[in-house]
Structure 1
Amino acid sequence: MDDTSGILDEALERLHSTGPERAGWLSNHAPMAVEALVRHGQSATVHGWLDSYGSKLEGRPRRLSPITEATWQQALGDPQHLTDWADYFARQLAERPWREVLAVWWPRLLPGILASATHGVIRVGHAVRTLLDSEQTARAAHTPHAAPGTATSSAPVPAAPHASPAPSGPRLTELAEALGYWAARHQPLPGAVDVGVAATPAAALAALPRLADQSGGIRDRLARVPTVPGWQQAAGALHVPDDPDLAYEQLSRLVRAGTHRYATHGHGDPVMLVHAATAPNAVLRTLPALPRALWAPSLRAVWPPVAVLMMIYGPASPLPAPRLSDDDRPAEGRLAGDRATERRPTPTVRQAASMTPDEVFALAAAHGDEHVIKFADTAVDVTAAAPDGDARALAAALYAQSMIDAPR
């Protein structure tokens, strides 16, 4: 991460005087977006972006009553305790190493990963990534020559908690805010899932049923999920390996499949469907900070919410896969009968392949929408994880830029 300027810490300090939501329940995306901007070399745009986005934000909600070890279960999922939960985690992180706090609370929060349309876990994923970066930077400063590695898996090896240097105050505060937001909005699935077919991520996504009545907001749609035939089987269909390294690889495939799928299904709801990729990627980013015993349960927990989001926002008709070139049959951006009928051309794979990931992200930063920025961040991650790059992921990021209106 390009953070020698200290801009990320400055931005987080600005944001920690604001609340995690606005306009009643809409998420404050700024902490996540500024982390992505700094990470991808767009530090110079951060304060200007915040000046614009900050006009939407509100102050912190009032405190209701302190949360304690004796009362946390009653307060879980109660948004009246938004600030109380942030206070609770601030105290926890002041008393114990952040990895220990995360290891205790991650399995407690996983059943409610749908919280605020998955924004709770997404914000935690961004916060954890900054803390891991801080550790890596500090460790590298004291390790001039790294020993040759012998790992055969692409899964990262978690560092020992006692070896972790102390992170900066704003980054620890951001983790407290993120965990507190997730806890206050903790939301389980609308029913138990059936674990049956052991499908690959792409196959599991392709087999998802669709909620026919997609009127109303996410709360209205979630209430109708039990009416979708086969939803419990579909939400339990993904193969979850018990081996931590294999679970990591499977989660990586899920992030990649969700990113690719946006290019063909994102028109169902261009904003909401970015979370089918950014939510599992948030979990993937967090795994290196967790005990390996939690890796498979994390994959098992994140797939059902991804499946449900696709069910309740997926379009009636998918688009063709991104074209190789402009000479191929054109695909339309939005189809009649879906959320909107405005037609916008989908970017081609060849267009995306002609650009670097940094160029694609720079376009997202210039666009300015928080979801466009975060989805491009995930698409760049997917591209970096592929040995030969991933033009389909970059094409999906360009498609999001064409489908989501830029801020005014």
Structure 2
Amino acid sequence: MATQTGLRPADMAMRNGVTAVSGGVLNEAYERFHRTGPEWGEDQLTNHGPMAVEVLVRRGRADSVDRWVRSYLDRLDELPSRTADITDADWAEALGDGRRIGDWTTYFSRALRERPWREVLATWWARLLPGIVAGTTHGVIRVGHVVRALLAGAENPATLDELAHGLAFWAARSRPVPPAGPPAGRLSPQGALDTIPRIPDQRGNVAGRFGQLPSLRGWGAAVAGLSPAATPDEVLTRLADLVAAATLGYLAYGHGQPVLLVHTATAPNAVLHTLPALPRELWAPSLNAIWTTTAAIHSAYAPPESAPRSALPTPPSGSGAVAEVLDRAVAHADEHVIKFTDTAAEVYTRTGHPDALAAALRAAGLIPPAP
């Protein structure tokens, strides 16, 4: 990945896998969050704490972590208790059973003590990929954040426990991708995303919205319109381009559902950063699954009309632009804004497109700051 203008020295250290990412700040934060469940409240909102602190530490904002964690912990529920053991023989029966989050956490904690984390990840990535919508993609996003820490050299009990918690959430909330054929067209991710039709009734929960997709005229053809990836390198390119297209798309359509639509960018970015830890034969299926999921969220939540250009923010420019946008996200303190700004900053790094940074500011303007 290209060197990012405006990165602090600590950011560069994190990017190069130097010890900062494996230091005590991230580990301590993980340990505090591991006493909590992956969801909280009556509405089963997702616990974003471990994901956000990984961004803060990797981006050189470790001095903000303790204060942010103390504030965020107040809203969370305890980790659900175990009910029964999950075994290698009966795991399929527990897949998608949200009542068994505690059981899945125990199962993966044990597996990661007994086998190398890459082996566990590869085995379960293949099993969980059909249910990648889990927690409106928060399962794969949580896994993606901790895999970034592991790939940077932070293999220790706290990060392995975090991987167990992420996989457990994904398994317990497994939800299938809306049916659609694989990519078979000639369009770029941007071109394909532009063709995705909207569901007729953009109200209600995820299940109700996604339930409209199988009968939506043009849905299958639009998903299939993406150009397939013939090689692993092309998979990486398609994913990077999809993350960029979704980030820029948020600038235009984020007002439709400011929180849900950030995941059109952060979920494929999580997959992109996990692929180096996976066997290459899993790369193309991963692209296909997350493309279909991204298209589904776009169809279900992006409004038909884009925001007028006059309503959009002007991003900062110059060598300190990225650092300024990241600082604004940290000050804003909402977990979605922190994670989306991290992704948008990466898109700007790769493409130099100022609208990526504008999209980050757009998210901060649409989503209320943390209390």
Determine if the TM-score, normalized by the shorter chain, exceeds 0.5.
yes
Counterpart of 2:226 in structure 1 is: 238
Q: Distance in 2 between matches of 1:68 and 1:34?
A: 32
Deviation at 1:405, TM superposition (A): 0.7
| TM-score for the superposition, normalised by structure 1 | 0.83
Are 1:169 and 2:157 an aligned pair?
yes
Q: 1:8 aligns with which of 15, 26, 38?
A: 26
Counterpart of 1:205 in structure 2 is: 193
Change in CA separation of 1:353 and 1:308 when aligned onto 2, cut-off 3 Å: farther
Q: Distance in 2 between matches of 1:206 and 1:192?
A: 17
Q: Distance in 1 between matches of 2:146 and 2:22?
A: 18
Q: Distance in 1 between matches of 2:128 and 2:236?
A: 19
- 1:128-153 CA deviation, whole Å, 9 max, x = no partner? 00101116xxxxxxxxxxxxxxxxxx
Counterpart of 1:140 in structure 2 is: none
Counterpart of 1:308 in structure 2 is: 296
Counterpart of 1:255 in structure 2 is: 243
Larger Rg: 1
Contact 1:240 1:299 in 2 (8 A): no
Q: Which runs of 5+ in 1 are unaligned?
A: 136-166, 321-329, 333-345
Contact 2:178 2:293 in 1 (8 A): no
After TM superposition, the structure 1 stretch with the greater mean CA deviation from structure 2, 234-243 or 271-280, is 234-243
Q: Distance in 2 between matches of 1:385 and 1:171?
A: 28
Alignment of 1:61-140 (within 5 A): 61-134=80-153
After TM superposition, the structure 1 stretch with the greater mean CA deviation from structure 2, 281-290 or 351-360, is 351-360
Counterpart of 2:364 in structure 1 is: 401
Deviation at 1:236, TM superposition (A): 2.8
Deviation at 1:223, TM superposition (A): 2.1
Deviation at 1:212, TM superposition (A): 2.0
Deviation at 1:189, TM superposition (A): 2.2
Deviation at 1:227, TM superposition (A): 3.4
- 1:219-246 CA deviation, whole Å, 9 max, x = no partner? 2212222332121222332222131011
Are 1:360 and 2:325 an aligned pair?
yes
Counterpart of 1:214 in structure 2 is: 202
Q: 1:35 aligns with which of 33, 54, 64?
A: 54
Q: Distance in 2 between matches of 1:404 and 1:104?
A: 37
After TM superposition, the structure 1 stretch with the greater mean CA deviation from structure 2, 201-210 or 56-65, is 56-65
Contact 1:252 1:284 in 2 (8 A): yes
After TM superposition, the structure 1 stretch with the greater mean CA deviation from structure 2, 193-202 or 173-182, is 193-202
Structure 1 residue matching 2:224: 3-state secondary structure: coil
Q: Distance in 2 between matches of 1:53 and 1:215?
A: 29
Deviation at 1:5, TM superposition (A): 5.0
Q: Say which structure, 1 or 2, has more relative contact order (CA 8 Å, 6+ apart).
A: 2
Deviation at 1:378, TM superposition (A): 0.5
Q: Distance in 2 between matches of 1:249 and 1:58?
A: 39
Total equivalences in the alignment: 352
Structure 1 residue matching 2:263: 3-state secondary structure: helix
Are 1:299 and 2:287 an aligned pair?
yes
Q: Distance in 1 between matches of 2:152 and 2:313?
A: 33
Q: 1:378 aligns with which of 343, 358, 362?
A: 343
Q: Which runs of 5+ in 2 are unaligned?
A: 1-13, 15-19
Counterpart of 2:17 in structure 1 is: none
Structure 2 residue matching 1:215: 3-state secondary structure: coil
Deviation at 1:355, TM superposition (A): 4.3
Change in CA separation of 1:16 and 1:32 when aligned onto 2, cut-off 3 Å: same
Contact 1:40 1:358 in 2 (8 A): no
Deviation at 1:395, TM superposition (A): 1.1
Contact 2:183 2:228 in 1 (8 A): no
Aligned-pair Cα RMSD in Å:
1.6
Change in CA separation of 1:226 and 1:261 when aligned onto 2, cut-off 3 Å: same
After TM superposition, the structure 1 stretch with the greater mean CA deviation from structure 2, 368-377 or 184-193, is 184-193
Runs of 4+ displaced beyond 4 Å: 352-355
| TM-score for the superposition, normalised by structure 2 | 0.91
Deviation at 1:195, TM superposition (A): 4.4
Change in CA separation of 1:4 and 1:296 when aligned onto 2, cut-off 3 Å: closer
Counterpart of 1:145 in structure 2 is: none
Q: Distance in 1 between matches of 2:320 and 2:226?
A: 33
- 1:9-50 CA deviation, whole Å, 9 max, x = no partner? 010000000001011421100000011011111111111111
- 1:67-113 CA deviation, whole Å, 9 max, x = no partner? 11111111111111111111111111111110111111111111111
